Amino acid sequence: MILTSGEIYCIGVSNRKKTSGLRFSPSDAQFFSRIFAMALYAYENGIPSTVKTIKNEIQQLAAEKPVLELLQIENKAIS
């Protein structure tokens, strides 16, 4: 079981009586959370599936990335 408050992660391990804990700065906690989630996914689904999923997510994010469109305005001379 994993309990988190955003910066503190408490992990219960089956072969220990006490809960283990990790504490991070806010920016490191976000990074740890992402890496830990990928590690769990890789453990449950295998490395090839994990690599495929990450590549698909990268492609999806690139497709959803906002694009700046420049509009051409006609320049009419005032007479």
**Residue 72 in domain:** no
Q: Which residues pair with 22 in a beta bridge?
A: 9
**Residue 37 in domain:** yes
Answer for the pair 34, 11: CB distance below 8 angstroms, yes or no: no
Per the structure, the complete domain to which residue 59 belongs is given by: 2-64
**Residue 73 in domain:** no
Q: Which residue has the higher pLDDT, 47 or 20?
A: 47
**Residue 47 in domain:** yes
* Tally of structural domains, the chain: 1
27, two tokens: 């920016």
**Residue 76 in domain:** no
| pLDDT number for residue 44 | 96
pLDDT tens for each residue of 44-69: 999 999 999 999 999 999 999 888 88
**Residue 23 in domain:** yes
Q: Which residue has the higher pLDDT, 4 or 63?
A: 63
Best CA proximity match to 12, nearest among 39, 32, 21, 23: 21
